[in-house]
Amino acid sequence: MFNINYFIDEEMEYGSEESDSAGRRIRDVSDDSSDSFSLDEIPVPINNTFDVTLPATHSYLGPNLEELRGRTILDDGIYMNLPLLIKQTVLFPGQTLPMTIFNLQIIDILKNCIKNDRTFGCVSYGSPVIHQIGTTAEIYEYREGSGRNSFHLKAKGRQRFKILRIVTPEHNKILANVKVLPEITLGPPFLDQRLASLDHLRVYPDLEKNVKKQERIENLDAVITPWPAWVYRQYDPARLSMKIRQHLQFLEIRGGNVPKDPIGLSFWVAENILINHNERLELLRYDCAITRLQREIKYLIEDKIYVCVQCETLIGRQSHMFPMNREGPQGTYVNPEGVIHETITFYHVQGVALSSSSPSTNYSWFPGYAWTVAICKRCSQHVGWKFTATDSNLRPKVFWGVTRRSLKDKDIRIKKKD
Ligand SMILES: [Zn+2]
């Protein structure tokens, strides 16, 4: 479809200081020595003292980043030319994207963006070459590295777009003609056909008791429509959001900041739940929060098991995820080589071994914590890092960051305990 011979592949190189080079000794640290899917309840760490707003500042990129003020909002439906960066990850509106770039051509493109509307397009590798739907990213902070050959920036995912035509398919310099996609919003399902005389009794169905009240009124509304009320309720953004938030209560209790509005919530869930790349692309394709939320509920109903992408050794489960970043249990971070890791934080993992090198605070994504590389016990695939507090007052003392690309979900579903 898109005839591009070259693409930007700064993320294609996996080799970095994380990969445990052959010959280095490793330590087995998993609590569970068997390979069976042991599912004991592990207590959630309490009395956390870590400031969860810190990781979202990406302070490891260094101090004194130039701050850009204001915000660019592109009109829905407009056609425009947008420089594209191709990533292995999927960027959703609302998501923070930190980047370290060494490629001079890309640095030029980004400097140009900063002079204009600060916006570039972010698309994923896909079939045949790149995915047609992407997200605009707005740069809000940047800094030139020492030696002028590196560039650090932080950008925010803003609006979805569709690629219509590639204008310049040059090496590393792809310009595309795109259409900014509107987000379709629908009001409550009974907005047009309702008994107006009952309006004074209506409540917003955000809490359990309000849901019951509202349902009684909707049952009356439905009398003048062709379908029973429960059919309409499946398309009610407020009710879908409430259901999702009930499933995510375990994160809110642990300090996660789950958005309340249906659109923000639908993108937040897409960013934070561990689903595979194609499922995420599918969620980005939807034009409406209702469809996104309906699909996401299916992913959240059961507790999921995550295994090593290579050998299927059990690594973690969904209910052991917890947020160490105000933005959610998943954070997008960049390492000194410019490799982006979408990192999910767990308070418990198993089936992993640690590299024997001593913990390092260098470039730590979680200020106050030192990291040690963790690999799969069975196949030695790099799975993430163990983070250990360097200050004895810091809680949790230990947690795990697992990189999304090392995990896949296993089709063993465990019904959640209510
Ligand atoms: Zn493995």
CA of 410 to the centre of ligand 1 (A): 13
Q: Tokens 């030696």 belong to which residue? A: 147
How many angstroms is it from 321 CA to the middle of ligand 1? 20
List domains and CATH numbers for the chain: 57-180 (2.30.130.40), 206-221+228-299 (1.20.58.1480), 305-409 (2.170.150.20)
C-alpha 219 – ligand 1 centre gap (Å): 52
Confidence at residue 181, expressed as pLDDT on a 0 to 100 scale: 97
What is the distance in A from the centroid of ligand 1 to the CA of 348?
Answer: 17
| pLDDT at 30 (0 to 100) | 52
Read off the amino acid at residue 258: V
Instruction: Output the six-digit token pair for 148.
Output: 């002028």
pTM higher than 0.85 for the full model?
no
Say what the pLDDT of residue 69 is: 84
The pLDDT tens digits of the residues spanning 311-321 come to 999 999 888 88
What's the gap in Å between 370 CA and the centre of ligand 1? 24
What average pLDDT does this structure show over 352-376? Answer: 95
- Among the listed ranges 153-167, 213-227, 308-322, 335-349, which one has the minimum average pLDDT value? 213-227
pLDDT at 97: 95
Banded model confidence at residue 27, pLDDT cuts 50, 70, 90: low
Ligand 1: centre distance to CA 373 (Å): 14
CB 143 within 8 A of CB 158: no
Rounded Cα distance between 327 and 98, Å, is 14
Residue 184: pLDDT over 50: yes
- Which segment, 27-36, 141-150, 282-291, 406-415, is predicted with the most confidence on average? 282-291
Residue 308 CA to ligand 1 center (angstroms) comes to: 5
User: What's the pLDDT band for 227 if we cut at 50, 70, 90?
Assistant: confident
Using a CB cutoff of 8 Å and minimum separation of 24, what contacts does 388-392 make?
388/359, 390/361
- The CB density around residue 63, as the number of other CB atoms within 10 Å, is 6
Band of residue 29 on the pLDDT scale cut at 50, 70, 90: low
Average pLDDT over residues 1-10: 35
208's enclosing H/E stretch is helix 208-221
Q: Judge contact between 89 and 340, C-beta under 8 A.
A: yes
Q: Give me ligand 1 centre to Cα 314, in Å.
A: 9
- Ligand 1 centre distance from Cα of residue 106 (Å): 35
Average pLDDT, the chain: 84
Residue 223, pLDDT > 90, answer no
How far is ligand 1, taken at its centre, from the CA of residue 33, in Å? 14
pLDDT at 251 over 50: yes
Both tokens assigned to 209: 């008791």
111: confidence class by pLDDT, cuts 50, 70, 90: very high
pLDDT at 23: 42
Look at residue 65 and tell me whether its pLDDT is greater than 70: yes
**Is residue 353 predicted with pLDDT exceeding 90?**
yes
Has residue 71 got a pLDDT over 60?
Answer: yes
Buried b (16+ CB within 10 A) or exposed e, 257-294: bbbeebbebbbbbbbbbbbebebbbbbbebebbbbbbb
Question: What is the mean predicted confidence (pLDDT) over 112-131?
Answer: 88
Whole-angstrom Cα distance, residue 227 to residue 374? 54
What is the whole-number distance in angstroms between the Cα of residue 232 and the centre of ligand 1? 45
Closest by CA to 282, choosing from 127, 177, 137, is 127
Please give the distance, rounded to the nearest whole angstrom, from the Cα atom of residue 28 to the centre of ligand 1.
13
Which secondary-structure segment (H or E) carries 388? strand 382-389
- pLDDT band (50, 70, 90) for residue 14: very low
Q: Is the pLDDT of residue 11 over 60?
A: no
Q: 53-57, 65-69, 188-192 — which is least confidently predicted?
A: 188-192
Q: How far is the CA of 352 from the centre of ligand 1 (A)?
A: 9
Cα 292 from Cα 393, distance rounded (Å): 41
411 alpha carbon – ligand 1 mean position (Å): 17
Query: What pLDDT, on the 0 to 100 scale, is given for residue 159?
Result: 97
Alpha carbon of 402 to ligand 1 centroid (Å): 13
Ligand 1 midpoint to CA 83 (Å): 38
Mean per-residue pLDDT, 285-301: 92
Extended beta strands in 125-196, E state: 133-144, 151-170, 173-180
- Looking at residue 3, its pLDDT comes to 36
Q: 383 C-alpha vs ligand 1 centroid, how far in Å?
A: 8
Percent of the chain with pLDDT over 90: 49
